[in-house]
Amino acid sequence: MSRVNEFIMYACKPTQYPNIMQPVIARTISSYLSLRDCWTCQIALPSWEFFVSSVFFLSHGSEHRLQELIDQLGDTDKSTRVAIQGDGPTCPEGAFILMKLALDSFAPKRRTNLVSLDLQKHSINFEDWENMLRERSFCLAQLDDLALTLHHPDSSYLCNEQDPHPVLFLRSLTSLHLKLHCNWDSVCYLRLLRALQNVRKMELDERLVDHHGIAEEPHTPPSMIVLYFNNLSVLRCYFGSLLFKYLLVSGKEIFPKLKNLHLDCLSEKDVHTAQRVVTDQKSLEDIQTDYSIVWDRGTDSDCSWCSQCDSAIKEAKESTNFISKILHHRSSPPHLHLHLNALGEEDNVNATVVQLLTQSTYSILSIECCRPEGRLDGSLIVKYLRSSVCSRACLHIFGRPLPPSLTELRISAELCYNFIHTKWPAQLNGIASGVRTLTISPERWLLPLWSSLGTPVTVRDLGQLLVLFPSLMTLTLCTRCLIRCRGLEDILFACSHLRRLYLHSRAFESVHGLLVQLRLSKAHQRLEVLLFNCPYDIMRYDLADVQNLPALRYLLLRLGSSSQLVVACVADLFERLSSLEWFVYISPVQCRTFVCSRMSPGATLEFVVLETDKIPALIQRLPQLNSVFWERLLELA
């Protein structure tokens, strides 16, 4: 078998075949290999496992599909990834009990093909998790990636350092996202970490008893338990956590391979303290460090099935119901994300927003509205949108010129609606001259209500708003039923420098009408990227209009037609449009995606037809990974 593997590794080198051909190669040779042999191919194809795997979602009704889950876990020709979808199963103990029942059919001496398990939406009692591993660890011998929320309300269970029973975690794990819920004492916490010393990537969201803030200087952590993370290269944790203190004290001695560190902080002051502490440690000089500030992170509303601490969660919700969430994420480029609810303390929100914006260091600003409490029908939407803190906070954001460093703005379609119907565009002139990228998308919780809204925005109204962004080069519109229009004339007229256009909408009457308008708009002969996502069909002659966009490099269509029609005429499209590099067509009806590429002018076309759920893995291997085009394709896949 070694010779076969050597041949595969040689044949699949990136210099031998374009990345787009990797799924074709994977499917061809996977039919000759067992699951065990397939793992060696990851050396040549980093995204290999995605092409020979299947996903099983644990959701409402999954308790009736137990045998289907067992059969999938026992398939020796594939690997399986399991994750919770929606709120997960509604049976007692949720997804965890289903996994235990499925694994019981394999225990104690049969292995499953499970390589990835995501149960973090359901909080699991630590004793139950450990008992499950003791009895079924052999079944999970191939588990590589794990996301988990552990609940440990009784700190007496593991507080004895001399406990002869070690904490169990699988040695096969390389990636772990672990959330520790409720009260964990330091000894129990450290004994748990000792079981995780083989992982390569770890995100640790801990809830220690004394974790209500951080000290000015780190203290030396307990030294009773010795830790060595010899393989860890990526770490995300709280600044002030015991794990971070171990890193400061021991550095490369116990973290010899650490390359990336992400610290979650509780305030701007904590960030400055963390930066100073990390900078002073010479042993951390070669580690890439990022920082995040998180407000109102005390509640875990997304974590269900935690009966032991249900009352604590309710109390936390009640105490934070009137506090708006603001997440300030330090990244590259710097990103300010505002997530506000309707009942927030307006004065506090406004003061915080103004303080952050005056720093003038942000390149990206995102604004979202939280779902209000209680039932909200269509007749109350307008009243809610105009009275919410989210809208009022925007008065302070857009009441003055935006920072010159701000180049990208992401707002909800509801705010856009509010801007237009309160005649804000007339007041906002000249405040956003530096914004080059604008994204308008609806809040998910409001989507079902837009169809009943009696006063939609017209495309002419939207054009008046877009005029405020004279430097706009990238426009993303996810309009749904918010905008009623026949064409793009006003949008195209308002955005004279547009290079990238992404449209997700049922508002337009046809694909043909859109493409004709693009062809007739002389100002948009410079358009380089076009994405159109709607339920309508496309005709052969519609693609002829695309040929009149001479600068077009990337074209992505997600329409109602089958892919066969597009495949038949795509070669002619590439021949007539010399600038075109990538063409992607997604057929939701067939759940298939057609991809065609030309690496350079005159080069041979490379094309492949994929199952749509394989797109994320393909994107990871594409050379244009950082392009906004591929980000949009990932959203559709």
**Looking at 99-108, 258-267, 287-296, 598-607, which range is the least confident one?**
287-296
This prediction has a pTM of 0.56
Mean pLDDT, range 497-525, rounded to an integer: 73
With left for phi above 0 and alpha for psi between -120 and 50, is residue 430 left, alpha or beta? left
Most confident of 236-245, 312-321, 621-630: 236-245
All residues at 6 or more sequence positions from 20 whose CB lies less than 8 Å from its CB, including other chains: 595, 597, 606, 607, 608, 618, 622
Contact between residue 210 and residue 242 where contact means Cβ atoms under 8 Å apart = no
pLDDT tens-digit series, residues 182-231? 667 666 777 778 888 889 999 998 755 444 333 334 444 544 456 788 88
Burial of 4 (0-12, 13-18, 19+ CB in 10 A): middle
pLDDT tens-digit series, residues 25-56? 555 555 554 444 444 444 444 444 444 567 78
What CATH number matches the domain at 53-155+166-199, 3.80.10, 1.10.3470, 3.30.1540, 3.30.420? 3.80.10
All residues at 6 or more sequence positions from 110 whose CB lies less than 8 Å from its CB, including other chains: 74, 138, 139
Residue 314 pLDDT grade (very low, low, confident, very high; cuts 50, 70, 90): very low
3-state helix, strand, coil in the chain (%, to 5): 35, 20, 40
pLDDT at 40: 46
pLDDT at 146: 92
pLDDT at 2: 43
Residue 58 pLDDT grade (very low, low, confident, very high; cuts 50, 70, 90): confident
Quote the CA–CA distance of 169 and 199 in Å, as a whole number: 10
Nearest to 23 by CA among 628, 620, 629: 620
pLDDT tens-digit series, residues 110-121? 889 888 898 888
Query: Which sign, positive or negative, has the C-alpha torsion 557, 559, 563, 565?
Result: negative
Mean pLDDT, range 62-79, rounded to an integer: 84
**Looking at 148-157, 227-236, 398-407, which range is the least confident one?**
148-157
Contact between residue 551 and residue 528 where contact means Cβ atoms under 8 Å apart = yes
Mean pLDDT, range 497-505, rounded to an integer: 83
Domain boundaries, the chain: 1-51, 53-155+166-199, 203-210+224-297
Question: 190 or 264: whose pLDDT is higher?
Answer: 264
Percent of the chain having pLDDT more than 90? 3
Q: What is the CA radius of gyration of the chain?
A: 27
Mean pLDDT, range 476-496, rounded to an integer: 70
Contact between residue 336 and residue 359 where contact means Cβ atoms under 8 Å apart = no
Quote the CA–CA distance of 549 and 148 in Å, as a whole number: 49
Res. 288: pLDDT tops 80: yes
Mean pLDDT, range 525-540, rounded to an integer: 78
pLDDT tens-digit series, residues 543-581? 777 888 888 888 888 776 666 667 677 888 888 888 888
Quote the CA–CA distance of 364 and 358 in Å, as a whole number: 14
Q: Is 156 helix (H, G, I), strand (E, B) or coil?
A: coil
pLDDT tens-digit series, residues 411-467? 877 677 667 766 665 566 667 788 999 988 765 555 545 544 555 667 677 777 888
